[in-house]
A and B are shown apart, each in its own frame.
Chain A
Amino acid sequence: MLKTRIIPTVLFKNGIVVKTKKFSEHRNIGSCINTVRVYNAREVDELIFIDTDATKEMRGLPIAIVREVLDECFMPLTVGGGVKTTEDINALLKIGADKVSINSEAVKRPDFISEAAKVFGSQSIVISIDAKRNGGSYEVFTESATKPSGMDPVFWAKKCEKLGAGEILINSIDHDGMMDGFDIELIKQVSDAVNIPVIACGGAGNLDDFTKAIKEGHASAVSASSIFLFTQTTPENVKMHMAKSGINVRI
């Protein structure tokens, strides 16, 4: 039986791990390499590695830095930040990424998703969606949550699936870095709408939050950052807790 994945996310800028709250207030945490080494030693299920401001700062991913970090990794890896062309994707797959995450460029140019899926296969293409609550509904934002798209995340996720995305990473802007629990409603709406795996992200603050994202939010996998950086909780603790509530995990 397929195991539910617990995926640490490492956000970085200039080779330094950063942590945000609601996509702003960057805090420097430490070197990428050291952080990744710890996760590697812990044999985590997967790792997501994202350059937070590549698009906003109108630059590509710093390939040399990313390559150095990926060389430390033996776990499956998703890499993202400022990915705009099939050449960008090729460069990342070549240095050891298994999947590439695309966000702003996909919203700007949806055909990029089908173009990428055709060349690299759907399983390599993760579409990252940042959504914010807006009254009773949600809206997709791009460029580090600075630019509203006018789109509903469910509509956008379904479109991404149709265009050939292999996976959706749904992130709540309101809960980013707040450690106050996932936006279960958002996760559930998106997970129930598509037939591709959905990774829930944004807000994990305690062990029960992870279980809820799976049981109530119907996510296929859960990602988190702050809880692993700022508390004693490890991905393994999370999995032990999930196992107790009957969720199949790899321990």
Chain B
Amino acid sequence: MDLTGFPILSVIIFLPLAAGLLILVMPATKTGWVNGLATTVGAVDLVLALLLYFSYDQVAAGYQFIEKMPWVPQLGISYHVGVDGFSLPMVILGALVVLCGALVSWNVDDRPREFFAFLMFLGTSILGVFASLDLFQLFFFFEIAVFPKYLMIVLWGYPKTRNYGGMKLTIYLFVGSMMALFGVLVIYFKSGLNTFDLLALDQVSFAPELQRWLFPFVFLGFAILGGIFPFHSWAPDGHVAAPTAVSMMLAGVEMKVGAFAALRAGIMLLPEGAQYWQTAILILATINVVYGALIALVQTDFKYVIGFSSVSHMGLVLIGMATLTKQGLLGAGMQMFSHGIMTALFFAIVGMVYDRAHTRELSALGGLGRKMPWAAFGFIVAGLVSMGMPGFSGFTAEFPIFVGAWQVAPWVAIIGILGVIVTAGYILLVIRRVFFGELPPALEKVSDVSRKDKFVIALLSSLMVALGIFPALLSDLISTGVAYILALVGAG
């Protein structure tokens, strides 16, 4: 299909923004319109993203669907978007989670217009980052997410902890982005090219000494959003305090935005810096994997288990990236997608359970498999993905990461694999705790999930199974993007 000339990426990116503004001015009583518009936008974006997927030329590879327009010529900033094999799956993921997030939020009755508008802004921010080929623009979209995140958590989140969780998350992430901003400015200055264009900056060889001290600023700054240890504690508190759709977006996609930006602006622009700091990052990321899993094991709050499991799984993404190998990067790309869907489903189901049981304490839950079979099924599927069980997308993602780790630092693989078994432990325990066993009397009247919820569960579950059985659906695409990254890094 010939898409030349039609600015499809811009449409994908800005459609949510336009919808959000429109939603703000809708009449207060027409909640149905608000719900409908948000969901439709999510669906349209997903369809367009899939259109990109099918139109992408894997043989030619490289960045495609490029649009470029001067923005601030005096500073060498342009509006420059495009996707390659690595970012296209992320765009699909973003649209998918926006859609699912909108679907599970139809029951928000407190100021739904603001809620959905902020959700839409968040969507634009995410999609913008993934498609950005200009460093300023990337940062621009990255930062736009700050205020929707904060407001959505403190206004619609879990009342007891939302102020703390929201502020902690926002400040932590802002610190990270400010660090990154500093690094970005230094890159801009030192490149001598007076441009923010990523493609041009990719080709610049910065002095090794510069790269060594600059890399932590840029990489860590963005990786904080990815949940790197020890700067991860915002994630469990923030995600748990957030309303369901926001948790889905935050853990499902926002954390990937962080890792993605760390890759784009950190590793790809400062490859020698990445090599120099490789061991340190691997250590931190491995701690993520194991520590996150161990902490999840001892949680008593259903949502916190999932929160910490996200920290653990993002560690795998960071390991994959840090190995700077073909398989590692492939695995990182697959894991970003797989974990995105998985954790979105996890949080969606946690939300469904909480809406009905009004508690998240594991000790107060039980036997819900009988009352909410769809939720149980979805949670089990997501759980199996989380454990890295073959047949599901988690395995096809984790396996290459470990192969990459083997090439660079075998101990990472050996220690990291412990995370797998601990994950299996806490996942199975939680499944049993929540969905099997005795049904407490307080939960007798719990109803099953709605049709929209079932749709979300079915959609996300089938994607995870499909990717597990046919990894080639994404792996070939991602590999083309990986090749470009490796060329920059200088490895083979």
Binding between chains A and B:
no
The interface of chain A, by Cβ under 8 A from chain B, is none
Interface residues of B (CB under 8 A from A): none
